[in-house]
Structure 1
Amino acid sequence: MSETGKVTWLFLILYQCVSKATTSQNCPRLAEITFKDIKDAINKIKEIDALTRRITVLEEEVASLKKYVPSVIFHAKVSDGKNPTAKQRLIYDSIIVNKGSAYNPLTGVFTAPVAGTYHFTYSLLGGSQAEDTAVHLMRNEERQSYLHSKLKSEQAQTASMPAILSLNKGDQVSVRLETGNTWSGLGAMNFQGVLLEADEA
């Protein structure tokens, strides 16, 4: 008989005897129970209790692991021939990657789907006639960082800037062209972002 079977057998006898009689004379099967049987049953109950607690811990760990964290990665560029001018948000209309669909190519706005730490990169290539060009990375319409190109006419210089931001769910990030104008040929102007780490719920 298995250990579990012995425990079941023991409790069946005790139940029958307690419900009908209280002595081995009135309940002959009570005499079949030994001290070792009782000790083994107690040990088995302790093992079951320990396993139950361990199962509870494992269930909590599994529930924690099942918390869904979306994959948030985007990379967009300004299409060739679209050369934005100052005082407007840059629209990176050509999508290369947009996992999580958090970036909107119609508005140029990235909206954080979860709170967490994000890494962004944006680039600038001033137009050939733009001697003073500046773009700002914006978070909820507040400036976070910027790129500035100051060149003589007919000169060109490309630059990019990384930024790590702690965002709340729903925060919006975009790039704004403040001064000058840009050149977008050959994918020169890009905007990228990735969720590095989501905050614990």
Structure 2
Amino acid sequence: MKISVSLTLWLLLGAVSTNECADCQQTFPQDVYAALREMTASLVQLKADMRFLQTTEQTAQLKTEVDNLKQQQLVRQVAFSASLVAGGETTIGPFPTHTTLIYKHVVTNIGNAYNSNTGLFTAPLRGVYHFQWWVGAHGDGGAHASSAGLFKNSDHIFLAWEQQTSHFGTSSNGVTLYLEVGDIVSVSLWANTLAFDNLFHHTTFSGHLLFTM
């Protein structure tokens, strides 16, 4: 009797285990495949998002680099040109001492290194610059010459000079200078001389950066 009951229980347990395994075999693979498909889709989306973020970051970095390069290029662009007056007619001088000329009519001032309130050019970069200046002369019977000298800080560099007894004339000069940041370049009316200017702009001061160092 005991043997019969044990055999029956063993057969029932075997039947249940077999059915459950059959259910597992039918359900488990479907769940795995579904999970794998979801994981694959998630990975694909994640890769796409990462590529998008990388592209966005690279684009932002590239834009920043381009903006910096543009800014550096702008800083390296220095040029100005100005005359004493925009219109009308004027004669400046004579003065007993050298007097800084203030060129009020500014036609170009790239880099804003020239100050039309003081007449001073201040080097924004260390480098080599070229300057030119002209002085207009209107004869007053030879009583006074027309002359202007270029100064680097307090040092006189070159002079333009014209002695005009009558009528009209001009004198000019130019120089290439090495400047440190903050060096000041100006043009001064020479002591006891005159400078003439009118709407044709005869008395001028110009300069530009050749290259940095």
TM-score of the two chains, using structure 1 as the length reference: 0.62
Q: How does 1:45-194 map to 2 (within 5 A)?
A: 66=69, 68-69=72-73, 70=75, 71-79=77-85, 80=87, 81-85=89-93, 86=95, 87-129=98-140, 131-152=144-165, 154-178=166-190, 179-185=192-198, 186-194=200-208
- Residue 91 of structure 2 aligns to a residue whose secondary structure is coil
- Residue type of the partner of 2:81? H
Q: Which has the larger radius of gyration?
A: 2
Is the 1:135–1:175 contact (alpha carbons within 8 Å) kept by the matching residues of 2?
Answer: yes
Aligned residue pairs: how many? 136
Asked if 2 retains the 8 angstrom alpha-carbon contact of 1:75 and 1:190, the reply is: yes
8 A Cα contact 1:126 1:180, kept in partner = no
By percentage of residues, which structure has more helix?
Answer: 2
Aligned partners of 1:94, 1:110: CA distance in 2, in Å?
A: 14
Question: In structure 2, how many angstroms separate the alpha carbons of the residues matched to 1:147 and 1:114?
Answer: 27
Is the Cα–Cα contact under 8 Å of residues 138 and 164 in structure 2 kept in the other structure?
Answer: no
Task: Please state how far the C-alpha of 1:84 moved relative to its aligned partner.
Answer: 1.7
Q: Partners in 2 of 1:83 and 1:111 — Cα distance? A: 26
CA distance in 2, matches of 1:131, 1:147: 14
3-state SS of the aligned residue for 1:68?
helix
Separation in 1 of the partners of 2:146 and 2:196? 11
* Structure 2 SS opposite 1:126: strand
1:162 Cα deviation after fit: 1.4
One-letter identity of the residue aligned with 1:124: V
In the alignment, structure 2 segments of 5+ residues that lack a partner are 1-64
SS of match in other structure, 1:184: strand
Shift of 1:90: 0.6
**Aligned to 1:166, what secondary structure does the other structure show?**
strand
The answer to whether the 8 A contact 2:131-2:206 is kept is yes
What TM-score does the superposition give when structure 2 sets the normalisation length? 0.59
Identity of aligned residues (%): 28
Structure 1 residue runs of 5 or longer lacking an equivalent are 1-61
What is the DSSP-based 3-state SS (H/G/I as helix, E as strand, rest coil) of the residue aligned with 1:187?
Answer: coil
What one-letter code is carried by the residue in structure 1 that aligns with 2:212?
Answer: A
